[in-house]
Amino acid sequence: MKALIIGAGIGGMAAAAALRQQGIECDVFEAVKEIKPVGAAISVWSNGVKCMNHLGMGHIMDELGGPMRNMAYQDGKTGQVMTQFSLKPLIDEVGERPCPVSRAGLQSMMVDSWGRDSVQFDKRIERVEETEQGVSAYFTDGTVAHGDLMIAADGARSVVRGYVLGMELERRYAGYVNWNGLVAADALIAPLDQWTTFVGEGKRVSVMPISDQRFYFFFDVPLPVGLEENRATLKDDLKGYFAGWADPVQKLIDALDPETTNRIEIHDVEPFDTFVKGRVALLGDSAHSTTPDIGQGGCSAMEDAVVLGMAFADTQDIESALQAYQSKRHERAKDLVLKARKRCDVTHGKNMKVTQAWYDELKQEQGDNIMAGLKETIIGGPLG
């Protein structure tokens, strides 16, 4: 049996690893010549780390995971700690740690783990054709590949999604712009083993420790979509949006390199239930594109891959396996997208009264409520 995997991102490489575990041959096709990640880092939460272990890629987490042992929220303006707590009780309860990792490192090591020479780069799918015998991928360079099934992990702007759903979906602007990048970890900005988030005015500034004494940072600002992007004014723009914010925030803006800072208008896609048509399955962002507000998009792609592998462990009948994959994944994936959307609105001041109530709650928080929410999300994954 041969699978065509479309996309060599987190989803595609996780799917290839899962199918290989079931003895299924995979040909992986990636549109770009060289993968350039859209974000600087991601937090792989414990459910994602469990999936990486299951898929035989736990060593990547060990090598790249940063020392995120504590969590804190601080008032953006005054810098005062609103809540600060150890993540140990959560890690003990769910049985795995979270790993914030450099995205370039993660994607590169996932490709290496599969075999870089076995990924066909510069192959952009434009059309799918299915027969009773198999499925064909037509690429923009005029070439065609044939397989028994197709896993389309071609991202939030998936081409294959139109084939599976029979219609195109619009992405929905979530209402804020995110700037992200990496800086040298600095205790004057935040403790080196802590995920620290400064909040106020519906904005947030966050730093997470990743490997090699670096911080992954991001700034979120509610803004209209389509504003001009200009690296030359990036620092000044952030200084303006965060005028009057506490010293660590100013230090972070001073420390960042505009040339390597990403600016992303955050979108998601309205959740849908159909991930599969015949021998073709959507996986990762092509199936469920979320805002990053609960850090679960990539983890969800890893979960998809684990469930896909489990489905083929149960049956080698392609259409039955893909149907089983769909029925086990669509509710969970939808739940994560909607949870992230809800969190997004509270964090980014969609209704400032609600956001202010959340700031007030944070001042009373001992960590238990936040960890209970994180736990619920984590144990809802396929590996518990």
Binding positions for ligand FAD, rule: CB under 6 A: 6-12, 29-32, 35, 38-39, 42-43, 48, 124-125, 153-156, 159, 178, 180, 264, 284-285, 292, 295-299, 301
Sheet holding 144-147: strands in order across?
125-130, 135-139, 144-147
Strand partners, 130: 135
Spatial separation of the C-alpha atoms in residues 196 and 206, rounded to whole Å: 6
Nearer CB in complex with ligand FAD: 124/251: 124
Q: How far is the CB of 30 from ligand FAD (least distance, A)?
A: 5
DSSP conformational letter for 217: E
Nearer CB in complex with ligand FAD: 39/202: 39
- C-alpha dihedral, 15 to 329 to 87 to 96, nearest 10°: -50
Q: Could you tell me if 140 and 126 are in contact, meaning their C-beta atoms sit under 8 angstroms apart?
A: yes
Amino acid identity, residue 13? Answer: M
DSSP H/E element including 4: strand 2-6
Spatial CA neighbour of 1 closest among 314, 279, 328, 305: 279
Nearer CB in complex with ligand FAD: 111/246: 111
Q: How far is the CB of 353 from ligand FAD (least distance, A)?
A: 27
Nearer CB in complex with ligand FAD: 301/344: 301
Amino acid identity, residue 44? Answer: V
Nearer CB in complex with ligand FAD: 178/347: 178
Amino acid identity, residue 103? Answer: R
Q: How far is the CB of 93 from ligand FAD (least distance, A)?
A: 20
Nearer CB in complex with ligand FAD: 248/292: 292
Q: How far is the CB of 357 from ligand FAD (least distance, A)?
A: 25
Given the DSSP bridges, would you call strands 214-222 and 172-184 parallel, antiparallel or unpaired? antiparallel
Given the DSSP bridges, would you call strands 262-268 and 214-222 parallel, antiparallel or unpaired? unpaired
Nearer CB in complex with ligand FAD: 209/246: 209
Sheet holding 214-222: strands in order across?
81-86, 70-75, 194-200, 203-210, 214-222, 172-184, 262-268
Q: How far is the CB of 311 from ligand FAD (least distance, A)?
A: 18
Q: How far is the CB of 24 from ligand FAD (least distance, A)?
A: 18
Q: How far is the CB of 248 from ligand FAD (least distance, A)?
A: 21
Q: How far is the CB of 298 from ligand FAD (least distance, A)?
A: 3
Q: How far is the CB of 308 from ligand FAD (least distance, A)?
A: 13
- Angle formed by the axes of helices 318-347 and 297-314, nearest 10°: 160
Spatial CA neighbour of 194 closest among 84, 359, 54, 78: 84
Nearer CB in complex with ligand FAD: 31/308: 31
Nearer CB in complex with ligand FAD: 14/246: 14
Which residues in 246-262 are b (16+ Cβ under 10 Å) and which e?
A: bebbbebbeebebeebe
Spatial CA neighbour of 204 closest among 76, 296, 80: 76
Nearer CB in complex with ligand FAD: 246/292: 292
Q: Alpha helices of the chain — where are they, by DSSP H?
A: 10-21, 46-54, 58-64, 88-94, 103-114, 160-165, 234-241, 247-255, 297-314, 318-347, 352-364, 368-379
Q: How far is the CB of 382 from ligand FAD (least distance, A)?
A: 15
